[in-house]
Structure 1
Amino acid sequence: MEIKKSKNSLKSKVQKLGTSLSGMIMPNIAAIIAWGLITAVFMAAGWFPNKHIAELINPMLNYMIPLLIAYVGGRMVYEERGAVVGAIAVMGVIVGSSVPMFLGAMIMGPLAGWSIKKFDQLFQDKIKSGFEMIYNNFSSGILGMVLAIFGVFVVNPLVTAGSNFMSKGVDWIISIHMLPLANVFIEPAKVLFLNNAIGNGILVPLGIQQAAVSGKSVLFLLESNPGPGIGILLAFIFFGKGTAKASAPGAALIQFFGGIHEIYFPYILMKPALVFAAIAGGVGGTFTFQLLNTGLKAAASPGSIIAILLMTPKGNYLKILTGVLVAAIVSFVVAAIILKADKSMADEEDLEARQRQMNEMKAESKGTSLVNAQNATEQVKKFEDVKKIIFACDAGMGSSAMGASLLRDKVKKAGITNVPVTNTAISRLKDENGLLVITQAELAERALQKTPSAMHIAVDNFLSSPKYDEVVLNLKALKQIAPSDTQVTDDKIILANKSGVQNIDFKVVNEVDFIHHDQRIGSATMATSMFKDRIKKAAKKTPVKNVGIDELEDSEKHLVIVTEEAEKNLRLRYTNVQILVVSNLLDDDMYDSLLAHLN
């Protein structure tokens, strides 16, 4: 389904703000993990204490990570010039600070990028030829100096006061055992694809400040805990129906071990009441973590059980696993109750799936498909300008990377070599011609705002969507619609019947195929059996098979016998197979001539 332009919504604006915050953190997760590992292993209470190596901890925390955050924040606004000015400006809030300046970096980076961008808009066009380099260097240096001084006297005191206030607030909430209530807001926000905004934009900076003082922080677990998600997916495994039940085991493995939480969001969107299961699981897990006085040394990203255990302090493994288990059990029980109580969801889902399947069978039996049922040429030609496909998600890492990998594999198998498939964060999308953007439905509006000139497709789940097959079919169909100047070579033998003149290269044929569109025994099965008898009587050795339309290998070694009605659908799907069109699958006047040329 293609996306239509719509007015900016409040949710879109919130997502955009959240993406801007998390977009500064996500590229630097590796640096945060490196700091966390050094802290966990080499600090005085670590696994292998080493005083010399431990000297890295404070400089990395106070200087390296804020500089990286400001650099990325400036680059998000104004490429490399914004990045450099952002790194200069953030020094003003870092120097003399008593707290790690993550929030200060998230302010100064974008502010510096915006400032140099506006400065260039005012003066860059007025610079005489030959003076561009001196302008670029001195404008960045002077503006960076001004912003650094501004940071020392204005931003530093404000952020320090704000950080102290928030830290005291978090400590107070923890002291009165009310922190679990945060999950009442976090879990629904995650389903709206604000998980990265909350986790990396808010909780990670606060968690790092807390961990720098106490050695660990429960804040790292509020959003990344895989327990609520795995509990919901387990409930679908045991009590779900139809495609939801069938896909849940694979989704559970990816969510729990791969840390891609987005994979269970569509299951909740399918049945919104399941958000209460996620909330209950999140509250139960956080309450357990707080009760056991545990937390992580640094951010666990992605939210995989493997990443969480790697960031677990020495002696806290059982406590962490207990919290994850409690969250999973609570969400499983609540989700199971909801799924068992609502019989309509499964029945409707199965009915809809069967209706789609029936429509596809009808379309295929007429030699077409749902992609081209109404107007094949018009639908296909929408793809003729596509030169690049980009999967875009909030962070541009987990789910979009997996979706891009799936489609890349399909494109490769289809023999399409001129259309690259990549992934990125929505915030880094650039409007350009020849671009096809694939994103989740919840994020479609923001993707459309970033790339109004591109072609857009929205999917419910990056890891399982029939629209991928539609994209591949349409891209392949372009080769069939485009005019060809291919000449018949001497290697090809001309056969003629009521369906017209056809050219077959028998030298490479090593298999004859009849195709079917479902699992029922029909004319293709009968035709296969009868043609095998002909092959046997003619003492030929070429194998004859009855295969599904999606099971063919796209190779000229396959000679596929079809009726005229089915030919169009076959050519949409395959580029290289050789096709022989007959008027009657069971007995055609061309079969005797065909047998004479087969091996």
Structure 2
Amino acid sequence: MKEKVQSFGRFLSGMVMPNIGAFIAWGLLTALFIDTGWTPNAALATIGTPMLTYLLPVLIAYQGGKMVGGPRGAVAGAVATIGVICGTEYTMLMGAMVMGPFAGWCMKKVDAMFEGHIKPGFEMLVNNFSLGILAMLLAILGFYVIGPFMAGVLNVLSAGVQVLVNHQLLPLISVFVEPAKVLSLNNAINHGIFTPLGAEQVKETGRSIFYMIETNPGPGTGVLLAYSFFAKDEHTKQSAPAALIVHLFGGIHEISFPYILMNPLLLLATIGGSVCAMIYNSIMGLGLVSPASPGSIFAFVGMAPKGETIQVLLSIVIAAGVSFLIASPIVRFSNAKKSLDSASDQMADMKAASKGATAYTTSESGQKVDLRTLDHIVFACDAGMGSSAMGSAVLQRKLSAAGFDNITVSHAPVSEIPAGTELVVCHRDLAERAVKSAPNAKLVTITDFMTAPEYDEIIKELQDARLNTNPENAEGSDFHGGILIKKNIHLNGPEKNKEEVIKEMGKVMYESGYTTEKYTEAMFEKEKVFNTAIGNEIAIPHGIESMTGEIKNSGIAIFTYPDGMDWGDGNIVKLVIGVASVGNDHMAALQKIAEACSTTEDVEKIVKMDVDEIYNLFK
């Protein structure tokens, strides 16, 4: 049940998070130019209403449709949501969250129905009209059904909120929010629930208290301060100040969660701090004009209405102060049997077990990656903005310090890991989702974004691979580490048939440590399905794709036959380049070969060169 709630919440937040910049743009327009704004401007203030009414719901619907039905689902969701918007007077952020994914699902089903049944030449016609007709029908459905229904839902929610406000019970929401945050539901709660409710409130009053509930960095700040002063475990005490800076100024609340999970009693501190801040916010009538994302002190205060900056800042101070007072004795008098690392591991195991998942430490998805050619790593998190951005920055610095400046580290949502990614790093709780999103990537999981030992393990593996000290590659071979080495350049070969050349090429590849003995068979299999003569008197024999497991290291061998030889299908070949590749190692050499062999005359010149000349040309 908890897994379903988490997945649903993450899906909702996944529609909103990529569009937070648009929410901030709308919030700043509101804060600056409305009648009570910082610089009132009646003309510019008119931009805010259509942004809230149309732009933000359409962006959310587009993202939701894309998540379910791809680009066509995104367009269907955006069009259909216009019907939802026009079907009610409410701001339809929640309506967009319903219609966008629903339209994407419908588009996916329609496409599946037509797949394989469209006559050649009519694909564009059918695709365009199927999307247009479906989007029109869904817009009508949104106007008459979804819009009015979601208006009813908002009426009920608004009435419930009003009851909490009238009875001064709104601060009690923190009793549920703070524990849910620590269970990684922070983005789901803030952007899936509070953001749409807050937008409706901003439209009526120009501010919303909902934007101050989950995003207040004060509760976590108090806990981290307590650890900085009173932690008994030295590692925890030393790491807490750095975590505090990231939490408070960077807005990455996830970094405080392991510290809280070390001692669950600390939830009393975060709840107490949040409740007191919410009481203060309610009494003072405070609110923010837009979501504060990430939950940094800068973003939180930056979204304060005109003239209320100090009051909003005090909300953080109150939350941090109360949280610190409650957390300090808990941290100081705890038995300190658990270190930060052991607590993180234990809680991650518990959370993984609750999802029926395998508990990982330094885990892999079972895939292999050629670390010698790796040039890109993806760091994934729930939304691809907060903890992954921080983790990718830390890992990038470590890689650069180790001399791997050619390897870039990017961050992405765990559900949108780019196709072709070879190495993914993510938090252990996201391992299952990362494997589904990038099934062909090697997966490394962590529990500590700032000081994960797995970062150093990645670098050690890279160093071993680049120095060719990986036992799996080095054992039983005389591999020299070069893709092209002089002993593999054989000149002025006598006339032979293709089979003899391939056998000799396979022997050279094996003896140089590039391949196993079976790679010769792989090259023969390739010739059965594709003649590797490519014109200009050149042939490039290589193994069939299904036998790439026979390759140990990438390498190239070059044979010349000045008198020419028959490569089959009427192809006379004078230059033969054998290729074995587990990655992209050979691409630079092949690019040089392509440039140097652009004409038959060029090949004739190469055939007349000596070993050193060919090596210097292609090294």
Match of 1:422 among 406, 410, 421: 410
Equivalent positions of 1:140-151 (< 5 A) are 140-151=131-142
Q: Which amino acid aligns with 2:456?
A: D
Indicate the residue corresponding to 1:541 in structure 2. Answer: none
Q: Secondary structure at the match of 2:171?
A: helix
Indicate the residue corresponding to 2:552 in structure 1. Answer: none
CA distance in 1, matches of 2:148, 2:342: 62
Indicate the residue corresponding to 1:273 in structure 2. Answer: 265
CA distance in 2, matches of 1:277, 1:442: 25
Is 2:319 the counterpart of 1:333? no
Q: Which amino acid aligns with 2:310?
A: L
Indicate the residue corresponding to 2:179 in structure 1. Answer: 188
Q: Which amino acid aligns with 1:209?
A: E
Equivalent positions of 1:200-279 (< 5 A) are 200-240=191-231, 241-279=233-271
Equivalent positions of 1:64-463 (< 5 A) are 64-240=55-231, 241-345=233-337, 388-416=376-404, 419-429=407-417, 435-463=422-450
Quickly say closer, same or farther: Cα 1:351–1:248, change in 2 above 3 A: closer
After superposition, what is the alpha-carbon deviation per residue over 1:139-159, rounded to whole angstroms, capped at 9, x for unaligned? 110000010011011101100
CA distance in 1, matches of 2:211, 2:79: 29
Contact 1:71 1:83 (C-alpha < 8 Å) held by counterparts: yes
Quickly say closer, same or farther: Cα 1:199–1:477, change in 2 above 3 A: same
Is 2:494 the counterpart of 1:484? no
Q: Secondary structure at the match of 1:295?
A: coil
Q: Secondary structure at the match of 1:345?
A: coil
Contact 1:380 1:477 (C-alpha < 8 Å) held by counterparts: no
After superposition, what is the alpha-carbon deviation per residue over 1:357-408, rounded to whole angstroms, capped at 9, x for unaligned? xxxxxxxxxxxxx99xxxxxx9998967966422111110011011112212
Q: Secondary structure at the match of 2:434?
A: helix
Contact 1:19 1:427 (C-alpha < 8 Å) held by counterparts: no
Contact 2:87 2:148 (C-alpha < 8 Å) held by counterparts: no
> Under a length normalisation based on structure 2, what TM-score does the superposition of the two structures give?
0.70
Indicate the residue corresponding to 1:543 in structure 2. Answer: none
Indicate the residue corresponding to 1:540 in structure 2. Answer: none
Quickly say closer, same or farther: Cα 1:426–1:148, change in 2 above 3 A: same
CA distance in 2, matches of 1:379, 1:80: 29
After superposition, what is the alpha-carbon deviation per residue over 1:433-464, rounded to whole angstroms, capped at 9, x for unaligned? x6222111232333234334432222112222
Contact 1:380 1:478 (C-alpha < 8 Å) held by counterparts: no
After superposition, what is the alpha-carbon deviation per residue over 1:249-287, rounded to whole angstroms, capped at 9, x for unaligned? 111111111111111111112222212211111111111
Quickly say closer, same or farther: Cα 1:77–1:379, change in 2 above 3 A: closer
- Unaligned runs of at least 5 residues, structure 2: 345-360, 474-478, 487-619
Matched positions, count? 456
Shift of 1:414: 2.9
Q: Secondary structure at the match of 2:337?
A: helix
Quickly say closer, same or farther: Cα 1:488–1:65, change in 2 above 3 A: closer
Quickly say closer, same or farther: Cα 1:103–1:351, change in 2 above 3 A: closer
CA distance in 2, matches of 1:197, 1:305: 20
After superposition, what is the alpha-carbon deviation per residue over 1:114-155, rounded to whole angstroms, capped at 9, x for unaligned? 111111111032111111111111111000001001101110
Indicate the residue corresponding to 1:468 in structure 2. Answer: 455
After superposition, what is the alpha-carbon deviation per residue over 1:217-273, rounded to whole angstroms, capped at 9, x for unaligned? 110011000100111110011111311111111111111111111111111122222
Contact 1:224 1:302 (C-alpha < 8 Å) held by counterparts: yes
Contact 2:217 2:248 (C-alpha < 8 Å) held by counterparts: yes
Larger RCO: 1 or 2 (CA < 8 Å, sep 6+): 1
Shift of 1:190: 0.8
Q: Secondary structure at the match of 1:223?
A: coil
CA distance in 1, matches of 2:81, 2:179: 34
CA distance in 2, matches of 1:190, 1:220: 15
Q: Secondary structure at the match of 1:344?
A: coil
CA distance in 2, matches of 1:351, 1:190: 21
CA distance in 1, matches of 2:262, 2:370: 30
Contact 2:369 2:441 (C-alpha < 8 Å) held by counterparts: no
Indicate the residue corresponding to 1:55 in structure 2. Answer: 46
Shift of 1:418: 5.9
Q: Which amino acid aligns with 1:440?
A: H
Contact 1:437 1:455 (C-alpha < 8 Å) held by counterparts: yes
After superposition, what is the alpha-carbon deviation per residue over 1:91-115, rounded to whole angstroms, capped at 9, x for unaligned? 1111142110000001111111111
CA distance in 2, matches of 1:350, 1:430: 30
Q: Secondary structure at the match of 2:480?
A: coil
Contact 2:57 2:92 (C-alpha < 8 Å) held by counterparts: yes
Report which stretch shifted further, 414-423 or 116-125: 414-423
Q: Secondary structure at the match of 1:236?
A: helix
After superposition, what is the alpha-carbon deviation per residue over 1:480-506, rounded to whole angstroms, capped at 9, x for unaligned? 3353256999xxxxxxxxxxxxxxxxx
Contact 1:242 1:350 (C-alpha < 8 Å) held by counterparts: no
CA distance in 1, matches of 2:227, 2:99: 45
Q: Percent identity over the alignment?
A: 46
Shift of 1:409: 2.5
Q: Which amino acid aligns with 1:218?
A: I
Q: Which amino acid aligns with 1:477?
A: D
Shift of 1:419: 4.6
Quickly say closer, same or farther: Cα 1:132–1:102, change in 2 above 3 A: same
- Unaligned runs of at least 5 residues, structure 1: 1-9, 354-369, 372-377, 490-599
Q: Which amino acid aligns with 2:89?
A: S
Quickly say closer, same or farther: Cα 1:412–1:302, change in 2 above 3 A: same
Shift of 1:199: 0.3
Q: Secondary structure at the match of 1:136?
A: helix
Q: Secondary structure at the match of 2:286?
A: coil
CA distance in 2, matches of 1:342, 1:115: 55
Quickly say closer, same or farther: Cα 1:466–1:439, change in 2 above 3 A: same
Q: Secondary structure at the match of 1:126?
A: coil
Shift of 1:431: 6.8
CA distance in 2, matches of 1:379, 1:148: 44
Indicate the residue corresponding to 2:14 in structure 1. Answer: 23
Shift of 1:326: 1.2
Contact 1:242 1:349 (C-alpha < 8 Å) held by counterparts: no
Equivalent positions of 1:551-570 (< 5 A) are none
> Under a length normalisation based on structure 1, what TM-score does the superposition of the two structures give?
0.72
Q: Which amino acid aligns with 1:456?
A: L
Q: CA RMSD in A?
A: 2.7
Q: Which amino acid aligns with 2:182?
A: V
